[in-house]
Structure 1
Amino acid sequence: MQQTADLTSLSPAQLRLLIRQKDSRISTTTGLAYGYQQANVVVLPGHLADDFEDFCRSNPAPLPLLYRSQFGEISCPPLARSADIRTDISQYCVYEEGRLVKTVSSLQDYRSQPRAAPEQQAVHYDPCLNMVSFYLGCSFGFEGKLKKAGVPVRNVEQGKNVSMYRTGVSCIPAGIFSCPLVVTMRPVPVDMLDAATRVTHLNPLAHGAPIHIGDPALIGIEDLSRPDYGEQVDVQPGDVTVFWACGVTAIEAILSSKPSLAFSHSPGCMFLTDIPDSPSSSITPPSESMDPPCTKTNPELTPLCFQVSHKPLLYSVVSQAAVARVRKLETIIGEDPGQRGIKALFVQDELLRSCLALSHASSVAITTGFPTHYMHSPPDETDGPPGAIAMATMLLSLGKQVTMLTDRRALEMNQAIIDEAVRTGVLKSAIPLVTFEDSGPDSALHFLCHHGDSSKPRYDHLVAIERSGRAGDGNYYNMRGVNIKHLVDPIDNLFIAAKDIPGIMTTGIGDGGNELGMGKLKERVESLMPNGSLIACDVPADYAITAGVSNWGGYAVACGLYLLYTCPSHQRYLKKGLGPVRGTPQEQLQDWTANLPSVDKEETFLSTLVSFGIRSGKTGHLAMEVDGLTFHPTHSDIITRLLGETLGSTVQNA
């Protein structure tokens, strides 16, 4: 119900007094006490308190712990003056053995029915004197800031309680507590996503930035019209569904752990604190062990939103600092010492968006192979495989499944090359090597999806790096305009089929415009590149990364993924705000760093390719060069600079 104007102007203390007096105008606290934190409340038996605190610490986005009371304490001095948790919430929920048995307007009036003798009269007593109260941040605490920033708050506009949904995402268990994550949903106009994310990021005590933006099915919500708590909020044209972690997760924890007796606020009926919602606000903890979530913010960590998928709709979040560094990587690989004119094809943030999409992927297939030297055996060039292996080993380090896809003619050779890359430490571990044969109209679908079912993709990202791409006439051309179709398997069909399969994204990496995926830039290639009207690839990818040498694009993807995984804003988004708030474990960080491309590893791998008779693309030399550029100093310098930008320091060649 829409709050009346006289209520919205009142302070939290004045509103608590009205709630204590059971003022009928206050049914929900949404839209009230703008400028102040609101709190979810859970009251539990004392013997469960330590477990529940651990549960909060393990899941800081849904359960930002503002205050844990002493045993039997009914006030909360750090949060509010003259408060009484038994009376200062408009409606409470009562749970027995994990079941919601009733709602009450005051815990002072709570009467317990004896379980052993139901015919006896209910007993009146004060349960809070034997329990511990937990006060948890609430997203109502940032609604005022959203409104001030010009972001519409649809639930308030529509006079409704916010929509809350149980997700398919599991919280991190602690003790007896484990349950699914609950989220609130607020529709946000697409052009205000950055503002909404930035504003809420500044208030970690009210759940912080969103944990999901886009298709609700991706987090296990099947029907937006049926919220598990609250009311359905209508999505307006041009809105995107944005989801924040929600303190009602604590209610789910009560339901799953089944304590003999517990209480909570009724969803939407929050405890109003005297704590401002400003990021500069501070809470005085009752003890050193009760430090609240950090409220200090770093401008470089300001999150930005980027759309990474259309089908299904998915946005990702990454810090301003990480974006700037990935863009520097993009600038480095855009240099053109071979003077091929590749800068004409450059599109900003294709590298960033591809890396973001790959960070959300779980299974990636990588293909390479450009048989430009059709008069030699093997006909392949040294550009492509090094970049492919660099991406593969970083993806493996990040826990992704990786598959390499090659031509049948090169299967045996590429298997030997992969084995050697593992033996020499260039590739983290062995990966499957497969081929694709077009044996009918559904071949691509069956290759990409389990049992040919488009709802069950086998891979969620396809990457082509320096891979021959099909031109508009159905042939495959090298830069000289020679047709090499007889040496190329129709892997392009997989990229074409992927466009119609929700959940599969594609990336193409190239340096001339005739590579698979460069069809996204076909018009530019046709008009700006040599032989462009003949050689231009006709098959697009969702992201087309251009580089002076394609290998550099692969190195940049590996470095970009490292930057994303070491970005706190992006890591939090990937993990849905679950897991302890601390930096990346040192052992994990060391593994990621060890699996970045390096001068030594890339020189070793190039030497392996040469030993297999694979030649430089531009000159055909069987030498330590790629596209006519010698490894030292050209390629080694690019790798060193990419690593320097990635690791933030001067990196030695060794």
Structure 2
Amino acid sequence: MADIISLSPAELRMLIRQEDPRIRITSGLANGYQQACVIILPNYLANDFEEFCHKNPTPLPLLHRSQPGETSCLPLAKNADIRTDISLYCVYEEGRPVKTVSNLQSSSTQARVTSEQRGVHQGSLSDMVCFYLGCSFGFEGRLRSAGVPVRNVEQGKKVSMFKTAVPCVPVGVFHCPLVVSMRPIPAGVLDAAVEITHLNPAAHGAPVHIGDPALLGIRDLSRPDCGDPVEMQPGDVPVFWACGVTAMEAMLSSKVSVAFSHSPGCMFLTDIPDAPPSSVLPSPTSGVDPLIADMSPQLIPLCFQISHNPLLYSLASRRAVTSIRQMESIIGEDPGQRGIRALMVQDELLRSCLALSHATSVAITTGFPAHVKRSPPDETDGPPGAIAMATMLLSLGKRVTMITDRRALDMNRAIIDEAVSSGVLKAAIPLVTFEDGGPDAAMHFLCHHGDPSKPRYDHLVAIERSGRAEDGNYYNMRGINIKHLVDPIDDLFVAAKDVAGIGTTGIGDGGNELGMGHLKDKVKTLMPNGGLIACAVPADAAIAAGVSNWGGYAVACGLYLLHTCPAHQRYRRRGQRLELTTPQMLQDWAANLPSVDKEESFLSVLVRFGMRSGRTGQLAMEVDGLTFHPTHADIITRLLEVTGPPPSQK
């Protein structure tokens, strides 16, 4: 094999034409050049198949469509002959694979083409159209050059390919699930693998999934649908790219009378370098996903782990990541001099926003009874941030539930009604309570029939919610035990750790809030009364903010940024163009961002219901002793400036 690795695509095609036994699969060959999947269909189906490619550009990046009967493909390769220049072809009849052949010249492979419009007639490849589709083999050389191991090449195997539970967008008779290829990648070089492949959308672009294969409907990595099982090494993460074998699945679904394709792993070698298509293809191609057509460095995705159970990574562009990090810095300001910066951990806001973006059903809880001698005892920090997150999640199509204490149920129901009627909250949301009902109560609350495989929610958020300390009590910042005013909602966060697929976020400004448990050592050491008040219940992401409401505002803005980030949206949709962001959607999302006017209006509602500033106990337009103008209004304005919504929405 070593003696042919350095050969050019043209030299390799000549050896393939001569049926050289050294060339079985093309992975690892023609490094630096695009490889192509090939589909050969009757002419009467060609227009529908081309449209199918355009509707599903990530698995089917269309490099070239031939004329009927054309066996050369000058835009991609000189002196090529599609009848002989692939090492192994598949032959299909009535949508079923019937055999493999080493060339398409023999009489046994002449095509009988059936057309409902034209009746039945006999013909050869003169009646057929060839489609050349980008292939992930084209980026393997660049991965290796960058120090990213390509395990299937190392092991001398075909890459593993799997059918998923993700449906492609159907066109005419073509419909099928997305097929992906899997390459194990060491966790430490995921960013490099993502960037290299993102820069080659003609070879499927960046991964469509990183992590647990079950999230794609893949049960067993050791049993690929095509190719060979590839062994994972310690520290490897399964990374999945869209695969051109999707086209072969579509061909099977079409029940076409006669068709041909390359055999999986045996690609057509082009003379086109594996660089961004705008710089190498002979003319602009409509086969590249428009969501990733811009190769600007600021749009290159970065990779972040957002879940351990199940293992899941997500992608977001450098531009979106930079903006969310700016927001994290803004909300970390500490005008109240509470020492909150000592609790901040970079990218907790980003990881929470990414996890919430992937979620479909979110439960939010808030409520801190800071004033035990008042009625109501609740403070003004928490509900505004909770409502800001809820309305953005609703505008993004998520289901949202609010969880509150039994004692505050009627008040919070009235507050939600006012928020809806004033336009602060997009729509009414369920308001529920959770009380201690025995050892299985939390699991039954989180999951249908208490079954961990059937969760009701996939993310829990606590914002300025009193959290249980190590001694089992709940304390305000002054060290007063408020356990009698708090329902055991902490149990839901504890139980969520045992339910695959439920993520958690905690937002706080003092360390005694639910979800801040993994910061408890810092809280004990650095915060007043920390040894007593520190919450012991952790969340997957702990967002520290100068005022907790600011964390809620930042999450809402971060979700907006991610849903306007092409790299993230492509990844979240598994590379499928299920829907395109419309101007109306953008307008609705922007309208549901927090604003100075909305937050001032909502704070006045809370004051009218008797809720007070947490630090001073004042019944006034302030939160944690800081007046709405200028402090909170300034934070909201700056967050919106980073978010960049239409000026009319600010």
Question: Fold-level match, TM-score > 0.5?
Answer: yes
Q: Which runs of 5+ in 1 are unaligned?
A: 117-123
| 1:554 aligned partner, one-letter code | G
Structure 1 runs, 4 residues or longer, greater than 6 Å off: 113-116
| 1:180 aligned partner, one-letter code | P
Separation of aligned partners in 2, 1:514 and 1:363: 26
Equivalent in the alignment of 1:189: 186
* 1:100 and 2:85 aligned: no
Equivalent in the alignment of 2:406: 408
Q: Give the secondary structure class of the aligned counterpart of 2:244.
A: coil
Separation of aligned partners in 1, 2:643 and 2:300: 19
* 1:441 and 2:439 aligned: yes
Q: Give the secondary structure class of the aligned counterpart of 1:111.
A: helix
* 1:165 and 2:162 aligned: yes
Deviation at 1:154, TM superposition (A): 0.4
* 1:595 and 2:592 aligned: yes
Equivalent in the alignment of 1:250: 247
State percent identity of aligned pairs. Answer: 73
Contact 1:319 1:570 in 2 (8 A): yes
Separation of aligned partners in 2, 1:291 and 1:514: 53
Deviation at 1:481, TM superposition (A): 0.9
Q: CA, structure 1 residues 30+112, in 2 after alignment: closer, same or farther (shift >3 Å)?
A: closer
Separation of aligned partners in 2, 1:560 and 1:291: 31
The worse-fitting range, judged by mean Cα deviation, of 226-235 and 63-72 is 63-72
Question: Structure 1-normalised TM-score?
Answer: 0.95
Equivalent in the alignment of 2:368: 370
Equivalent in the alignment of 1:57: 54
Equivalent in the alignment of 2:63: 66
| 1:136 aligned partner, one-letter code | L
Q: Give the secondary structure class of the aligned counterpart of 2:69.
A: coil
Separation of aligned partners in 2, 1:305 and 1:14: 38
**Where do residues 158-307 of structure 1 align in structure 2 (5 Å cutoff)?**
158-279=155-276, 281-285=279-283, 297-307=295-305
Separation of aligned partners in 2, 1:520 and 1:224: 34
Separation of aligned partners in 2, 1:129 and 1:591: 52
* 1:16 and 2:17 aligned: no
Contact 1:110 1:126 in 2 (8 A): no
Deviation at 1:278, TM superposition (A): 2.1
Contact 1:184 1:243 in 2 (8 A): yes
Q: Give the secondary structure class of the aligned counterpart of 2:92.
A: strand
Contact 1:94 1:101 in 2 (8 A): yes
1:549-603 deviation digits (Å, cap 9, x = unpaired): 00000000001111111111111110111118x9732111111111111111111
* 1:344 and 2:345 aligned: no
Q: CA, structure 1 residues 652+227, in 2 after alignment: closer, same or farther (shift >3 Å)?
A: closer
| 2:506 aligned partner, one-letter code | G
Equivalent in the alignment of 2:307: 309
Separation of aligned partners in 2, 1:653 and 1:173: 37
Contact 1:519 1:541 in 2 (8 A): yes
* 1:481 and 2:490 aligned: no
Separation of aligned partners in 1, 2:162 and 2:304: 24
Deviation at 1:112, TM superposition (A): 5.8
Deviation at 1:257, TM superposition (A): 1.5
Separation of aligned partners in 1, 2:318 and 2:592: 25
* 1:604 and 2:601 aligned: yes
Deviation at 1:399, TM superposition (A): 1.1
| 2:29 aligned partner, one-letter code | L
1:378-431 deviation digits (Å, cap 9, x = unpaired): 111110000000000111111111100000011111111111111111111111
Deviation at 1:38, TM superposition (A): 0.2
1:215-250 deviation digits (Å, cap 9, x = unpaired): 100111000110000011111111111110000000
Q: CA, structure 1 residues 289+535, in 2 after alignment: closer, same or farther (shift >3 Å)?
A: closer
| 2:140 aligned partner, one-letter code | E
Separation of aligned partners in 2, 1:284 and 1:114: 31
Separation of aligned partners in 2, 1:167 and 1:500: 26
Equivalent in the alignment of 1:7: 4
Equivalent in the alignment of 2:116: none
Deviation at 1:115, TM superposition (A): 9.0
Equivalent in the alignment of 2:72: 75
Deviation at 1:54, TM superposition (A): 1.2
2:550 is aligned, of 536, 540, 552, to: 552
| 2:322 aligned partner, one-letter code | A
Q: CA, structure 1 residues 293+567, in 2 after alignment: closer, same or farther (shift >3 Å)?
A: closer
Q: CA, structure 1 residues 107+652, in 2 after alignment: closer, same or farther (shift >3 Å)?
A: closer
The worse-fitting range, judged by mean Cα deviation, of 84-93 and 485-494 is 84-93
Equivalent in the alignment of 2:496: 498
Separation of aligned partners in 2, 1:89 and 1:364: 50
Equivalent in the alignment of 2:86: 89
Separation of aligned partners in 1, 2:241 and 2:107: 33
Equivalent in the alignment of 2:37: 40
Contact 1:41 1:271 in 2 (8 A): yes
Q: CA, structure 1 residues 606+392, in 2 after alignment: closer, same or farther (shift >3 Å)?
A: same
Equivalent in the alignment of 1:121: none
Q: Which runs of 5+ in 2 are unaligned?
A: 114-120
Contact 1:65 1:293 in 2 (8 A): no
Contact 2:112 2:258 in 1 (8 A): no
Separation of aligned partners in 2, 1:636 and 1:445: 40
Q: CA, structure 1 residues 170+292, in 2 after alignment: closer, same or farther (shift >3 Å)?
A: closer
Deviation at 1:291, TM superposition (A): 6.4
Separation of aligned partners in 2, 1:325 and 1:125: 61
Separation of aligned partners in 1, 2:649 and 2:625: 21
Q: CA, structure 1 residues 110+528, in 2 after alignment: closer, same or farther (shift >3 Å)?
A: farther
Contact 2:201 2:288 in 1 (8 A): no
Contact 1:92 1:266 in 2 (8 A): yes
1:526-571 deviation digits (Å, cap 9, x = unpaired): 1100111111111111110000100000000001111111111111
Contact 2:590 2:645 in 1 (8 A): no
Separation of aligned partners in 2, 1:292 and 1:404: 42
* 1:637 and 2:638 aligned: no
Equivalent in the alignment of 1:471: 469
Separation of aligned partners in 2, 1:44 and 1:592: 43
Deviation at 1:334, TM superposition (A): 0.4
Separation of aligned partners in 1, 2:109 and 2:323: 60
Deviation at 1:281, TM superposition (A): 3.6
| 2:500 aligned partner, one-letter code | P
Equivalent in the alignment of 1:329: 327
Separation of aligned partners in 2, 1:114 and 1:492: 67
1:480-524 deviation digits (Å, cap 9, x = unpaired): 111111110000001111112111111000001110011110000
1:314-362 deviation digits (Å, cap 9, x = unpaired): 1111111111110000000001111111111111100001111111111
Report the RMSD for the aligned CA atoms in angstroms: 1.8
Deviation at 1:653, TM superposition (A): 9.0
Contact 1:522 1:538 in 2 (8 A): yes
Equivalent in the alignment of 2:137: 140
Separation of aligned partners in 2, 1:110 and 1:374: 90
Separation of aligned partners in 1, 2:289 and 2:30: 21
Question: Structure 2-normalised TM-score?
Answer: 0.96
